[in-house]
């Protein structure tokens, strides 16, 4: 596409933003439109970028992965590690004026644990009760010690919604959540933008630096960069590595980067409906052959200019929970062909569904070319992101790409995908022995014991290959030099709290 055509498309996409926005408007270019803005039901990474600005959590992580208080002011474990008592900030109100207290926390967790629409049920299963000790104190009771609990309070389950306003929405997804964050919801234009405004009653007003925040959906990395360079955006996520030199050469822009916990995964449909009835879904030998046909390092060089970290596990290479017994495999086309012959499938065909951003499509095309040399007939089908994951949730896919931003506790990097009831296990992979190991790994806080259990688990799911983990991100953002206060985090989530104009 020519530069002139890109600029014309950019103007059409931005609509009302064609004129310069007010100095107190922060405009952020995102790679996709989110699914729901209700943290109970959301499963997309891009939704975290937005709900984080609307909904403060009880706890968060800092850039070094330490847990820090937000709506909570502190916490204390019981001696047997089967209860966590959390102290809350006093005098806070939700965007709609409702009071925030321990009763509101209890209501939120009841919703997260019991709502039919909730994706958090499995994550919160170890919580047997949430007690109101007093208005400023809540106690979480556990069936057994549960290592990931603090991490969950720093994730979607820690986002607190206004009970009355949320209940009034009934069984409809809450697209305009009333929370306690620095910005409140104003409007959403699907496939275009989401607009937020300053929360005038925010508990830490020094962290609210703009009158308005706009999240603009722009799948094309080139258009996001053009928007930034022409002043229509102030910050963009997931800069294409091939554009880094362009950004560095522009004195009005700056690159911000952070080694990431996040990774890209290729998910196969093994048991979820009729779409699973194909060779790559039925036969682990075919999936093994597909992995043997691809070259992760070549993919990294061709698509990402060598900026990412090829990997075959949900934990970063060299990390505490990475299993060195399963190093990143090298490409072996002859072995791939032999495996397909053994499986009786010399030319298996399947469709890879992928989000319709140009980089994602390029990944699919590179994998398509590599696997074809081994005999695979892989079709690449780009789809709009929300439609893509709606279809995946229904089991309407043979293979699909997904991104996970990563968490500081290994359970939420692994179990969410491979446990039988993992909330992102869209292909319905099941292995009872694996489920037992994963459950055991959450009930101990001993790191050495957990490492051993996760290695035993890896020996199962890396052999079955319900997923292929491809690489870990080095998160890349670009921003205007007029923007201050942007701090990168290893989970890749943008925290607008604390950002302000220069």
Read off the pLDDT band of 386 (50, 70, 90). confident
Read off the pLDDT band of 291 (50, 70, 90). very high
Of 94, 87, 128, give the one whose Cα is nearest residue 109: 128
| Concatenated DSSP letters of 132-161 | EEETTEEEEEESS--TTHHHHHTSGGGB--
Cβ(482)–Cβ(501) under 8 Å?
Answer: yes
Of 199, 184, 222, give the one whose Cα is nearest residue 5: 222
Task: Give the model's pLDDT for residue 173.
Answer: 57
Interatomic CA distance for residues 233 and 17, integer angstroms: 9
Instruction: Check whether 21 has a pLDDT greater than 90.
Output: no
Determine how β-strand 349-355 pairs with β-strand 399-404: parallel
Task: Give the model's pLDDT for residue 389.
Answer: 86
Domain 3-37+181-252+481-501 CATH assignment equals 2.40.160.40: no
Interacting residues of 78 by C-beta distance below 8 A, sequence separation 6+: 84, 85
Determine the CATH number of domain 260-474. Answer: 3.10.105.10
Backbone angles phi, psi at 14, to 5 degrees: -80, -25
Task: Give the model's pLDDT for residue 358.
Answer: 87
Q: Residue 284: how many CB atoms within 10 A of its CB?
A: 16
Domain range 59-167, its CATH number among 3.20.20.20, 3.30.70.270, 1.10.287.3240, 3.90.76.10 = 3.90.76.10
* Joined tokens for residue 204: 């830490």
Cβ(309)–Cβ(316) under 8 Å?
Answer: yes
Residue 212 class from Cβ within 10 Å (0-12 exposed, 13-18 middle, 19+ buried)? middle
* Joined tokens for residue 67: 């847990």
Cβ(36)–Cβ(171) under 8 Å?
Answer: no
Interatomic CA distance for residues 427 and 418, integer angstroms: 10
Task: Give the model's pLDDT for residue 4.
Answer: 39
Lowest-confidence pick of 66-70, 294-298, 318-322, 429-433: 318-322
Determine how β-strand 193-198 pairs with β-strand 212-217: antiparallel
Q: Which long-range contacts (CB under 8 A, 24 or more apart) does 441-446 make?
A: 441/147, 441/410, 441/411, 442/126, 442/146, 442/147, 442/148, 442/411, 442/415, 443/144, 443/145, 443/146, 443/147, 444/145, 444/147, 445/81, 445/145, 445/147
Whose tokens are 């990431």? That residue is 260
**Where do the structural domains in the chain lie, given as residue ranges?**
3-37+181-252+481-501, 59-167, 260-474
Task: Give the model's pLDDT for residue 16.
Answer: 41
Instruction: Check whether 240 has a pLDDT greater than 80.
Output: yes
Kindly report the pTM of this predicted structure.
0.83
Task: Give the model's pLDDT for residue 314.
Answer: 95
Write out pLDDT tens, residues 159-216. 999 999 999 887 665 678 999 999 999 999 988 999 999 999 999 999 999 999 999 9
Average pLDDT over residues 356-363: 90
Average pLDDT over residues 347-369: 94
Cβ(280)–Cβ(399) under 8 Å?
Answer: yes
Cβ(58)–Cβ(153) under 8 Å?
Answer: yes
Backbone angles phi, psi at 258, to 5 degrees: -160, 130
Q: Residue 108: how many CB atoms within 10 A of its CB?
A: 22
């Amino acid at each position: 596409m020519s530069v002139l055509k890109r600029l014309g498309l950019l103007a059409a996409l931005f609509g009302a933003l064609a004129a310069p926005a007010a100095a107190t408007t922060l405009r952020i270019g995102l790679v996709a439109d989110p699914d729901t803005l209700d943290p109970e039901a959301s499963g997309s990474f891009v939704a975290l970028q937005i709900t984080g600005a609307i909904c403060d959590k009880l706890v968060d992580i800092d850039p070094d992965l330490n847990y820090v208080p937000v709506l909570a002011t502190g916490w204390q474990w019981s001696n047997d590690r089967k209860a966590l008592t959390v102290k809350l900030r006093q005098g806070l109100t939700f965007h709609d004026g409702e009071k925030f207290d321990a009763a509101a926390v209890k209501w939120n967790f009841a919703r997260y644990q019991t709502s039919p629409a909730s994706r958090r049920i499995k994550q919160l299963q170890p919580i047997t009760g949430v007690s109101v000790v007093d208005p400023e104190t809540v106690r979480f009771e556990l069936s057994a010690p549960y290592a990931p609990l603090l991490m969950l309070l720093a994730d979607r389950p820690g986002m607190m919604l206004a009970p009355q306003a949320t209940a009034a929405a009934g069984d409809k997804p809450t697209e305009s959540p009333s929370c306690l964050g620095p910005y409140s919801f104003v409007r959403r234009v699907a496939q275009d933008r989401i607009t937020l405004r300053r929360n005038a009653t925010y508990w830490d007003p020094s962290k609210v630096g703009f009158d308005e925040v706009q999240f603009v959906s722009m799948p094309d990395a080139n258009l996001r960069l053009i928007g930034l360079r022409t002043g229509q955006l102030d910050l963009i996520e997931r800069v294409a590595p091939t554009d880094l030199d362009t950004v560095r050469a522009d004195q009005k822009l700056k690159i911000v980067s952070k080694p990431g916990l996040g990774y890209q995964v290729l998910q196969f449909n093994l048991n979820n409906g009729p779409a699973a009835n194909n060779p790559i879904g039925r036969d682990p030998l075919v999936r093994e052959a597909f992995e043997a046909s691809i070259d992760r390092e070549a993919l990294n060089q061709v698509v990402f200019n060598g900026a990412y970290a090829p990997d075959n596990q949900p934990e970063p290479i060299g990390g505490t929970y990475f299993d060195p017994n399963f190093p990143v495999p090298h490409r072996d086309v002859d072995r791939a062909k032999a495996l397909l012959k053994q499986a009786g499938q010399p030319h298996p065909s399947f469709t890879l569904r992928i989000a319709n951003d140009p980089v994602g499509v390029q990944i699919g095309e590179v994998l398509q070319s590599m696997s074809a040399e081994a005999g695979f007939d892989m079709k690449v089908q780009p789809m709009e992101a929300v439609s893509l994951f709606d279809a995946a949730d229904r089991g309407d896919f043979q293979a699909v790409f997904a991104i996970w931003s990563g968490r500081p506790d290994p359970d939420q990097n692994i179990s969410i995908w491979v446990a039988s009831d993992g909330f992102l296990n869209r292909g319905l992979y099941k292995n009872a022995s694996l489920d037992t190991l994963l459950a055991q790994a959450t009930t101990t806080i001993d790191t050495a014991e957990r490492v051993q259990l996760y290695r035993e688990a890896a020996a199962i799911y890396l052999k079955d290959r319900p997923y292929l983990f491809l690489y870990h991100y080095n998160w890349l953002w670009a921003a205007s030099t007029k923007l201050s206060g942007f701090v990168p985090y290893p989970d890749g989530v943008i925290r607008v709290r604390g950002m302000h104009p220069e």
